Amino acid sequence: MGVKAKKVLASIALIVLIIISSGLVLRAIFNYINGQKLERYLADMKARGQLVELSSLLPPCPDEENAALLWKAVESLLILESNDKSLLAPVSEISGWKEFSSDEKNKLETIVEKNRKAIDLLIEASTRRCFQYGNLVKPAIERDIPNFSLMIQANRVLIIDALLKAEKGRTDEAIEEILHGLQFARLYAQSPMLINFLGSMANTMMLVHNLNRLVNGRELPAETAAKIMKLLDPEWWRKAMVNAFRGGYAGFALETYNYVLKGETISGVSSGWLDKVFYWIIRPVLKSEVIWVSRHYQEMIESAGEPFYRNEKARQWQGQKIKVPAQYRLARLLLPNLYTIILREATLEAYLEAARTGMACKVYQRQHGKYPDNISDLVPDFLPAEPLDPFTGQPLVYKAKGDGFIVYSLGSNKKDDGGRMSMMTHAVMEKDDDWSWKENWK
């Protein structure tokens, strides 16, 4: 190689070295500036009470009070074949109550009996005080979570057991079993993780639907009705949703960012040495990303506490996805869909409000010999205030006729569909979107 060529290569090497050095200097400067901004932002959030430790959202949960330990046993004990699952599926069909044939009942009884131990453990778990699943020391993104597919199936088995008991005249036992299911759903809804909250809402919808089937046309003691109504409190769920968003921020999003900023690896996200180098290089960008995600999370937390009909932020984001800047890679993984979660919770609130009002009507009928002419007749002796439709802010629709009635929310389409319900999505066709509680009503 000639002298001239060596000089050219040396010049190129020097230029590359200068570029790399300049890049590292700029990275160091931006890393320091963004780090200072992040520290100030988090300190301000903490001063305003917006930044909380996950431990403050998780009360002490000793093993003897932890329902999750019993649930893990249920996960290992549940025995379901593919045919069993298809037989159980109708209890989740929200548009109607399927009548089982004699052959189906025999098969369902077999499913129940081979899962008796699992059902008993699920009921026992509902009597515990807290639900903490998995090793909380592990990074949030690698933390174990309950098997929600199995949880749905376990609740279906519990519901079938209750329905079969009711058919045999053991109605009190059947209702008590459904109430245990509802209490268990509330337990794991309190675990401040959004995925737990979503799973608990799905199970609660299914349990409430079949509770209506169970009590329809049956007289209930006032104390039993009062117990049911207490578990149907819609506002409890909105508060639980706020807690779930706070936990999603403190115990998932922020914790994951802190983990990556320390240079730790996360399976499936930053597991190789190239990932470690990449996240080291973009650490200044990650610090800006934490602030961006934190602001959106705080909007969600504030929005989650509002009734749906007053929730301007949720309506603004309806049908829209948050536009995440291209350089914010983790944000796409860590930021939930605000509107979808709030819509699902509002749907549950609507169903619970209709159910609670329906139970109050049953108590009213027991005392007065007829159902109320209007929902307002239930206030204040049976309900503290006239229940409002969470989608419209107006009173629920109520119709009474003879020995029956129906009470319902208009749902997210805000149209009166006569109380008809459907789990279909608008992507398929316009759906019947009311959420109703019925008593001797066809």
pLDDT in tens, 280-313: 788 898 899 999 999 888 888 888 888 899 887 7
pLDDT at 321: 63
pLDDT at 424: 52
User: CB under 8 Å, gap of 24 or more: what pairs does 256-260 form?
Assistant: 256/139, 256/140, 256/141, 256/330, 256/334, 257/286, 257/289, 257/290, 257/293, 257/330, 257/334, 259/139, 259/140, 259/141, 260/286, 260/330
pLDDT tens-place string over residues 13-56: 777 777 777 777 888 888 889 889 989 988 888 888 877 776 67
Q: How far apart (Å, rounded) are the C-alpha atoms in residues 337 and 318?
A: 10
Residue 45 located in a structural domain: yes
Give the chain's mean pLDDT.
86
Residue 151 located in a structural domain: no
Phi, psi of 432 (to 5 degrees): -75, 120
Residue 38 located in a structural domain: yes
Residue 23 located in a structural domain: yes
Which 3 state secondary structure label does DSSP give 241?
Answer: helix
pLDDT tens-place string over residues 180-191: 999 999 998 987
pLDDT at 428: 37
Q: How far apart (Å, rounded) are the C-alpha atoms in residues 26 and 32?
A: 10
Residue 354 located in a structural domain: no
Residue 271 located in a structural domain: no
pLDDT at 427: 39
Domain count, the chain: 1
Residue 30 located in a structural domain: yes
Q: Tokens for 349? A: 């609130």
Q: Which residues of the chain have pLDDT under 50?
A: 425-430
Q: Range of 24's domain? A: 1-51
Residue 6 located in a structural domain: yes
pTM of the model: 0.88
pLDDT at 283: 87
Tell me the residue type at 82: S
Q: How far apart (Å, rounded) are the C-alpha atoms in residues 181 and 231?
A: 11
